[in-house]
Structure 1
Amino acid sequence: MITAAIQKDLNWCETLIQNNSSSFYRAFRKLPREQAQAVFAIYAFCRIADDAIDVDNNPELVRAMAGKLLAFEAGETPDEPMWRALRWAFDSFPLQIRPFQEMLIGQLQDVDFQQPKSFNHLLDYCYLVAGTVGLMLCPLLAKPVTSETEKLSVELGIAMQLTNILRDVGTDYRLNRIYLPEDLMIALGVSPEDLAGPQPTPELIRLWEHLAGEAESRYRLISANLELFDKTARLPVLLSLLYYSKIINRCRKARYRLLDRRIYVPKWEKLLLFVSANRQLLWASFWR
């Protein structure tokens, strides 16, 4: 049973996601209400940690969150809306603490940032900051949780993070962060200065497309295995991968002019994706 006090905390988390990630909110609000509210509590945890680094440049806040998470694991609940909502989520669903801990480790990697030496190093980073989020959400998307659904959830998070990196190449460069793997940049003849823009070089486009292919192969894998998720979870999972796939295609449509601007998917196109996702799931159920 959700008390009035807990509902207030859950509403706080829902408002946070509404104000900061309309795409994520549109996708996951279609879950059954209590599952959706647990997703919003998890989102609030991730958002606070992410903003502490990327907006406030306050790694001490993340370290403090790590300490509170240890206390949370021991049964203590910090007296804050997010933590109270998260306690409700842990009490209501079989969530695991490990991915929350790993996500904070990933956030702290951006404090003393180092460019990934290889694609495997980039994948390790993507797992910590985004694949872990897939693991957090998996118990809300699949019952029972299996190794297959965990793998797909992790791959979805990794693919979405790769997409974010591809979209934000120019923005990250201006923040003195290069997430593109160093060995691939060298192999394909891409210099750090190429990321200053405004026009991407042919070499950078080849590298960009190589990483885009890695993301898209994961989106295809998940799309082909949607039936492994609960029926009520298939729409938000499908919407997530369609939204992020569209970001990649939008970058291509802009002729890769993404070093001096941020590519986004307009609301009207998100609406079309929603209609398309519903139609795809309807046809899948019809032919099953």
Structure 2
Amino acid sequence: MLHTIEVFAMDRGDFVTFLRSMAMDLDVRDYARYDDLLSYMEGSAAAIGTMMLPILEPADRALAREPARQLGLAFQLTNFIRDIGEDLDRDRVYLPRADLDTFGVTRADLRAAADRRAASPPIRALVAYEVERAREHYAAAAPGVPMLAPASQACIRAAFHLYGGILDEVQRAGHDVFARRAVVPNRRRLAVAVRCLLTPPGTPVGPPAARRP
């Protein structure tokens, strides 16, 4: 690890931030506001993006840092949306309490929806709100992909679209994340991978397009 850090001149501060968030997972079960959740995700997700950045060799590391942060945030928020039920089983709720309050949803409501494998209309509205928030992170991350070394772009471009595709599947299910786990179909995964391999380096990346349920 120390060798890799030295060779790629990785920011050691990212590792400190990462470990701080991992320690939070020991006793923090939920977050009051989105800013509080962002503080956690700064280490658990954004720091992962910036850790990888030197290995992906962007032309301008300083310019690419913020999009890399945003991509980490986008990926993790996507996970939080998809995995509400699984996180409940671990006694955790990663959607901010302020958002639950806005839509009139309680932790007990989420538990009941998970048990009956069907989301109520208020929960669907909450999930739709979080999906749009995640899409904002993807939009902020998109300019960073063409900044990477040509050899690095295809894999990150594919990850960008496939993770964004999970949001498409959530929307396709009417924002009910309890009926079934949102998974990108294998045929679409293959199509995305091939398309990204064939995309010329430097091609701009648009945010994942919203699909009709």
Q: Tell whether the structures are fold-level matches, with TM greater than 0.5.
A: yes
Task: State the TM-score, normalizing by the size of structure 1.
Answer: 0.64
2:86 partner amino acid: T
175, 180, 184: which one pairs with 1:256?
175
2:7 partner amino acid: S
1:176 matched residue in structure 2: 91
Q: Distance in 2 between matches of 1:283 and 1:128?
A: 29
Structure 1 residue 116 and structure 2 residue 35: aligned? Answer: no
Deviation sequence 1:71-123 (CA, Å, 0-9, x none)? xxxxxxxxxxxxxxx23322432112211121111111111123111111111
82, 97, 109: which one pairs with 1:194?
109
CA separation of 1:208 and 1:281: change in aligned 2, threshold 3 A: farther
Q: How does 1:1-288 map to 2 (within 5 A)?
A: 86-196=1-111, 197=113, 198-259=117-178, 261-281=180-200, 284=203
Q: Distance in 2 between matches of 1:249 and 1:270?
A: 13
Contact 2:124–2:176 at 8 Å: present in 1 too?
Answer: no
Q: CA deviation at 1:207?
A: 1.6
* Higher helix fraction (1 or 2): 1
CA separation of 1:103 and 1:228: change in aligned 2, threshold 3 A: same
Q: CA deviation at 1:179?
A: 0.8
- Listed as ranges, the gaps of 5+ residues in structure 2 are 205-213
Q: CA deviation at 1:140?
A: 1.4
Q: Distance in 1 between matches of 2:191 and 2:138?
A: 18
Deviation sequence 1:106-150 (CA, Å, 0-9, x none)? 111111123111111111111110101011111112345433211
Contact 1:189–1:203 at 8 Å: present in 2 too?
Answer: yes
CA separation of 1:225 and 1:105: change in aligned 2, threshold 3 A: closer
Q: What secondary structure, in the 3-state scheme, does the structure 1 residue paired with 2:11 have?
A: coil
CA separation of 1:145 and 1:224: change in aligned 2, threshold 3 A: closer
Deviation sequence 1:137-195 (CA, Å, 0-9, x none)? 11112345433211011110011010000010011112111111111111111111221
Aligned length, in residue pairs: 200
Could you say which structure has the greater relative contact order, defined with CA pairs below 8 angstroms and 6 or more residues apart? Answer: 2
Contact 1:118–1:184 at 8 Å: present in 2 too?
Answer: yes
Deviation sequence 1:219-258 (CA, Å, 0-9, x none)? 2233244322222222122112111101111122233342
CA separation of 1:141 and 1:265: change in aligned 2, threshold 3 A: same
Task: State the TM-score, normalizing by the size of structure 2.
Answer: 0.84
Q: CA deviation at 1:283?
A: 9.1
Larger Rg computed on CA atoms: 1
1:131 partner amino acid: A
CA separation of 1:280 and 1:203: change in aligned 2, threshold 3 A: farther
Of 158-167 and 241-250, more deviation after overlay is shown by: 241-250
1:46 matched residue in structure 2: none
CA separation of 1:276 and 1:283: change in aligned 2, threshold 3 A: farther
Q: What secondary structure, in the 3-state scheme, does the structure 2 residue paired with 1:284 have?
A: coil
